[in-house]
Chain A
Amino acid sequence: MKDLNLINQLTYYFTHNGLYVLQQFNRTFLMAIYGVLLGAIVGIPIGIWISQHRKLSPAVIGIANVIQTVPSLAMLSILMLGLGLGENTVIVTVFLYSLLPIIKNTYTGMLSVNPHVLDAGKGMGMTRWQVLTTIRIPLSLAVMIAGIRNALVVGIGITVIGSFIGAGGLGDIIIRGTNATNGGAIILAGALPTALMAIITDLVLSFVEKRLTPKTSSAR
């Protein structure tokens, strides 16, 4: 093994532990997705709600901001005290961190809808609910997705750190690498898929974001 260079060591690792890496990849990805999905389920309605009650927005966004300022390792440890070791704690942490980008983007998206369009909709006889579902949400969907995209990239990072509290995933491989002598290849074996995951999800969601941007031109 010592005779091999870094690249060769890496390929060696992948060929021998390919399935294991894939399993961990899957695990990390699912934890991040679950956390963000929960964040979206809670955050989007909150964002819509505070856009209708704007007096509440500084308080709500303030709280989400405070959550964001807690270092992720500290947050994991604090939650661990209550929720114990394991993936659930990581999912809750990802959920908490995804709240701010999702709430904030939903809120901004809702407010960025041209008020004249809303006025016209109301003036033509749309109910509040119709204005929300046929004008406000479609016109702010892209901004909301951008928030989810942010949350997911942050969430993947947190999930990897989550290995410290026994959640498993690609973080396990990285930690193993840092503990081994000359473990550079093992670190890379964990870090590269993580980076790849972040990049790919970002690309996929940016594509989704573009698709969801309401068509305003027939030339496409």
Chain B
Amino acid sequence: MLLEMSHLRKEYPNGKMAVDDFNLEVGRGEFICFIGTSGSGKTTTMRMINRMLHQTSGTIKINGHDIAKMDPVKLRRSIGYVIQNIGLMPHMTIQENIELVPKLLGWSKEKRAQQAHKMIALAQLPDEMLERYPGELSGGQQQRIGVVRALAADQEIILMDEPFGALDPITRESLQDLVKHLQEDLGKTFIFVTHDMDEALSLATRVVIMSQGKQVQVDTPENILRHPANEFVTNLIGEERLIRAQPNILTVSQIMKRHPATIQPEQTLADAIDTMHERRVDTLLVTDQDQKLVGYLDIDDVSRKTDVQTPVKQLMNHEVSYVQAKALIGDSVQRLLKLGVKNIPVVNQEKQLVGIVTRTSLVDIVYDALRGAPATDEQPASPINVDIHAAANHEGSADA
């Protein structure tokens, strides 16, 4: 493990508990996002890693070495550090800024200059910019410099404290691409503090959700969207984001209609027509004694025959397409729509019929995903939202 934090606790003299029993192991090349409301201890935790703050108790190890036993100045030179307010030295040129840590480490002038050129290229900025002063660059360009400055001495771990918080959305996105590239292609490890959930979900390999100094949930973005640990996480993620993520987190069983109209193969056509009339449907699903799906019977097949005593099994279509109850909607929706059927039966692992998905329920999902959450004053909440909350509250709710 590159970075191990165990039982970290930070208590201020006034008794305020900033961080309480924080545990995390970070592997090489991971992108960890700390997210939480203000005062949740995320920045405090991050600042303990380069000893800008000292923990009350607990240990932090980098490559197995306890950082409390290291020289803080040397430690900080080995860890990249980017802050929200950029923190470029206003009286130094861009080149001098980039060369700051290499200079502290005593690199030769040539090596430093070489590194500065390499870094400005990495930041995707023109070489001439090295001569300029930070005040002459736009906010986005300054933060690009801030990011590459943190890598200039080949630091392995880079700490970032809400680095893009003050930037406009477009600039922020391009900078997110930059850091993602640095992590994926250069294998740098990032500890990234943010309060922007979209940023955390799109960048992180793992998200650490914090509240009042405690870790609420530590997991991959997908798992957090799929199974928010509690209501706090659900609220933090936000209903709209959960709905937009629905096709990837909702399973078919959560949107299907239960108790579809069925008939047994041994029953007669007369029974079938009665059932259709009673349930007001044009298709019956045929199931055997074990509730296994064996085929379907369409109204078209029925009308061609006159003998109402014919058993269903002689008329039914054996070729029936179905979906698994556990399948994600996102994975199945494309297939469903391509088949061009009005509805599709849902089966469990034993191929027993458990429900049916109609095209209209798919339309609801697509609508919500594209148009966002329904306005809050539209009460009561749509059934979809109820499902979402059900999904959020039950772990492993995928079972039919």
Q: Please say whether chains A and B are actual partners in one complex.
A: yes
| Interface flag for A148 (CB, 8 Å) | no
Bound Cα distance from A124 to B76, whole angstroms: 5
Quick one: CB contact mask for A187-220 with B, threshold 8 Å, 1 for yes?
A: 0000000000000000000000000001111110
Cβ–Cβ contact B73 & A214, under 8 A = no
**Cβ–Cβ < 8 Å partners of B150 in chain A:** 124
Known: A116-B83, A117-B87. A122 touches B52 (CB 8 A): yes
Partner of A139, one of B87, B91, B101, B135: B91
Partner of B76, one of A114, A123, A134, A215: A123
Bound Cα distance from A138 to B91, whole angstroms: 8
Quick one: CB contact mask for A122-158 with B, threshold 8 Å, 1 for yes?
A: 1111110010001100110000000000000000000
Bound Cα distance from A38 to B213, whole angstroms: 52
Partner of A124, one of B81, B84, B93: B81
Distance in Å: Cβ of B71 to nearest Cβ of chain A: 10
In the complex, which residue of chain A has the Cβ closest to the Cβ of B78? A125
Q: Count how many pairs of residues, one from A and one from B, have CB atoms less than 8 Å apart in the complex.
A: 74
Cβ–Cβ contact A125 & B90, under 8 A = no
Bound Cα distance from A153 to B40, whole angstroms: 53
Bound Cα distance from A122 to B159, whole angstroms: 14
Quick one: CB contact mask for B51-66 with A, threshold 8 Å, 1 for yes?
A: 0100000000000000
| Interface flag for B132 (CB, 8 Å) | yes
Cβ–Cβ contact A214 & B90, under 8 A = yes
Cβ–Cβ contact A119 & B83, under 8 A = yes
Chain A residues engaging chain B, CB cutoff 8 angstroms: 114, 116-117, 119-127, 130, 134-135, 138-139, 214-219
Chain B residues engaging chain A, CB cutoff 8 angstroms: 50, 52, 73-78, 81, 83-91, 93, 100-101, 104, 131-136, 149-150, 159
The 29 sampled A-B contact pairs (Cβ below 8 Å) are A116-B83, A116-B85, A116-B86, A116-B87, A117-B88, A119-B87, A120-B81, A120-B83, A120-B86, A120-B88, A120-B89, A121-B89, A123-B81, A123-B83, A124-B76, A124-B81, A125-B75, A125-B78, A125-B101, A125-B104, A130-B104, A139-B91, A214-B91, A216-B133, A216-B134, A216-B135, A217-B133, A217-B136, A218-B131
Top 3 A-B pairs, shortest CB-CB distance: A120-B87, A214-B91, A125-B77
